Amino acid sequence: MNKLFGLTILTVMFFGAMPSSAQAQYTRQDSLRGSITPERIWWDLTYYHLDVNVDIDNKFISGKNEVHFKVLTPNEVMQIDLQPPMTIDKVLQNGKVLKVRHETNAHFIELTEMQREGAQMQLDIYYSGNPIEAKNAPWDGGIVWSKDKKGNPFVASACQGIGASVWWPCKDHSYDEPDSMLISATVPAELMDVSNGRLRKVDENGDGTKTYHWFVSNPINNYGVNINIGNYAHFSEQYEGEKGSLDMDYYVLKYNLKKAKKQFKQAVMTIEALEHWFGPYPFYEDGYKLVEAPYLGMEHQSSVTYGNGYSNGYKGRDLSSSGWGMKFDFIIVHESGHEWFANNITNIDVADMWIHESFTSYSENLFLDYHFGNKASSEYVIGTRLNIVNDEPIIVDYGVNQRGSIDIYYKGSNILHTLRQIVNDDEKWRQTLRGLNKEFYHQTVSTKQVENFISQQVGINLRSFFDQYLRDARIPVLEYFIKDNTLNARWTNCLTEFDMPLKIRSNGNEHWINPSTEWQALDLNDSIDSIQIDKNFYVGSMDVLGSQKN
């Protein structure tokens, strides 16, 4: 989700930084967490039943996770992740206690015997501990133990980045997801737990606690799994969407009910706009929920968490400085946008996280485009360039749980906005975005798959475009001069093969030019004495001879 810093206004850095030559140092723990290790690759997750007891007074979690899996190739050692200070108390397979070798966050479980290819197996992992407390969720992660204004406990998990293994034992890598999941949370009887999917039943335990069982009938990514415990009120509505009637349920603190009924009208507006651009909401079976949480928000699958104070903007501010950012509630739109990009289409490696954040940041201006028109959308996305730093490439290193620069957000959305200009056919562009969600429905994918799909759909080879904007920190600059009423231009500050077409205006006429990295005199069939570059393209420009006459 969104990890925007306190949003210092950053200078637009057209020239950016050169690709970093300093290699980051990675540890064995980074590789164990971030790669598909031999102890992970041989088994395919099919189902989790996470069953947790939340002891709020002692900030203590205990329980078990049933891990169901299919054996892809015979093996007998399985890697499960759980971060200290949480501990694995015991692991059982067919009633037998298994040996476990611990290596900080990774735990290597020796199964009872060599697992037979094709077999469907199960392990029960018992665990407990005082999980890391999130001090500044969602920027850090762990469990938030707080109280609402009336003094009631208000508790939630948030673990993007740090990983789900901060609070429950799992295969903590995004490449593999269970096909479905049951989350059972035992909480004080006067409170309620809201997790993902649909509430299947509530057990009254007779000991001052209740157990809420939430079932998710679709694949779910690890960090999307959540618990939210509070003194909730509930209201709901139906949305007649592209795939039928969508259940939209809202859980908010009782004293915020009135404000929520007003502000959450934007939930339907969001689903309507994003279905138009991205295709059907990807989890009709599990419904859509907006759940108040004691922190800003997160894209928890089918239970989007909300803490934006029931006001528009991002914590009441406009991230674009264009005015348009105050026309919508940032958390409702952004976090719901992730249902398509993060939850439906999930990155296979953290290095590919731009797939989550760039498309979702882009969904903010698609929301504006749908409800307020094209001008609003352009002004917003261009305004968000203030947040771009161009410090390092959007994609850095694979296999080490390392995401790219903060630019996965607004440089990413500007890349997609630029691409929309290049495609120059909004319906084709919309069908491409919808096509992504259909082609990669409920899948974990790589950047290459996304790139290739887009290139194929729009019928343009975008290889150098994506290499430049995703794998290089520099922003291309159009160098030009006008001589004898002719425009001479080339791309610089870029890869040698970069050759993006560009829209310019001259004397009130619109022209497409096709510069390369070699100087060319461009025949525009027009007498040129000045040019304006279409500001929808995220590029720099420089009149090298100061030849422009305006």
Q: Are 334 and 363 in contact (CB under 8 A)?
A: yes
Separation between Cα atoms, residue 462 and residue 451, nearest integer Å? 8
Q: Residue 1 interacts with Zn ion (CB under 5 A)?
A: yes
* Least Å from the CB of residue 398 to Zn ion: 21
Q: Give the binding range for Zn ion (CB under 5 A) out of 32-40, 140-148, 164-172, 350-358.
A: 350-358
44-103: which residues touch Zn ion (CB under 5 A)?
Answer: none
Closer Cβ to Zn ion, 166 or 304, answer by number: 304
Cβ atoms within 10 Å of 441's Cβ, excluding its own: 14
Q: Give the binding range for Zn ion (CB under 5 A) out of 218-226, 258-266, 319-327, 354-362.
A: 354-362
Q: Residue 319 interacts with Zn ion (CB under 5 A)?
A: no
Q: What's the token pair of residue 395?
A: 């994609």
In one-letter notation, the amino acid at residue 268 is V
Q: Are 183 and 169 in contact (CB under 8 A)?
A: no
* Least Å from the CB of residue 278 to Zn ion: 15
Q: What's the token pair of residue 132?
A: 């890391």
Q: Give the binding range for Zn ion (CB under 5 A) out of 248-256, 352-360, 436-444, 523-531.
A: 352-360
Q: Residue 162 interacts with Zn ion (CB under 5 A)?
A: no
Q: What's the token pair of residue 529?
A: 């004495």
Q: Give the binding range for Zn ion (CB under 5 A) out of 2-10, 24-32, 245-253, 382-390.
A: 2-10
Region of 279 on the Ramachandran plot (φ > 0 left; ψ -120 to 50 alpha; else beta) = left
* Least Å from the CB of residue 194 to Zn ion: 20
Closest residue to Zn ion, judged by C-beta, is 1
Closer Cβ to Zn ion, 43 or 278, answer by number: 278
* Least Å from the CB of residue 50 to Zn ion: 24
* Least Å from the CB of residue 232 to Zn ion: 24
Residue whose structure tokens are 């088994």:
43
Q: Are 167 and 141 in contact (CB under 8 A)?
A: no
**What would the x/- binding string for Zn ion be over residues 359 to 378, using CB under 5 A?**
-x------------------
Number of shown-chain residues binding Zn ion (CB under 5 A): 4
Separation between Cα atoms, residue 34 and residue 141, nearest integer Å? 18
Closer Cβ to Zn ion, 358 or 506, answer by number: 358
Distance from first CA to last CA of the chain, Å, rounded?
A: 44
**What would the x/- binding string for Zn ion be over residues 173 to 192, using CB under 5 A?**
--------------------
SS3 content of the chain, % helix, strand, coil (to 5): 25, 30, 40
Element (H, E) at 332: helix 330-337
Closer Cβ to Zn ion, 336 or 377, answer by number: 336
Closer Cβ to Zn ion, 71 or 304, answer by number: 304
Query: What is the C-alpha R_g of the chain?
Result: 25
* Least Å from the CB of residue 445 to Zn ion: 17
Alpha helices in 202-287 (DSSP H): 257-263, 265-278
Closer Cβ to Zn ion, 412 or 476, answer by number: 412
Q: Are 214 and 182 in contact (CB under 8 A)?
A: yes
Q: Sign of dihedral through CA atoms 199, 203, 204, 205?
A: negative
* Least Å from the CB of residue 162 to Zn ion: 15
Cβ atoms within 10 Å of 395's Cβ, excluding its own: 23
3-state DSSP call for residue 32?
helix
Closer Cβ to Zn ion, 121 or 331, answer by number: 331
Q: Give the binding range for Zn ion (CB under 5 A) out of 225-233, 351-359, 387-395, 456-464.
A: 351-359
DSSP 203: E
In one-letter notation, the amino acid at residue 477 is V
Closer Cβ to Zn ion, 344 or 360, answer by number: 360
Near Zn ion by CB under 5 A: residue from 2, 221, 363, 413: 2
* Least Å from the CB of residue 319 to Zn ion: 12
* Least Å from the CB of residue 175 to Zn ion: 20
Q: What's the token pair of residue 76?
A: 């007998």
DSSP 51: E
Q: Give the binding range for Zn ion (CB under 5 A) out of 131-139, 355-363, 367-375, 523-531.
A: 355-363
Rounded to 10°, the helix 354-372/447-458 angle is: 40
Closer Cβ to Zn ion, 253 or 353, answer by number: 353
Closer Cβ to Zn ion, 193 or 357, answer by number: 357
Closer Cβ to Zn ion, 79 or 360, answer by number: 360
Separation between Cα atoms, residue 365 and residue 380, nearest integer Å? 6
Site residues for Zn ion per CB under 5 A: 1-2, 357, 360
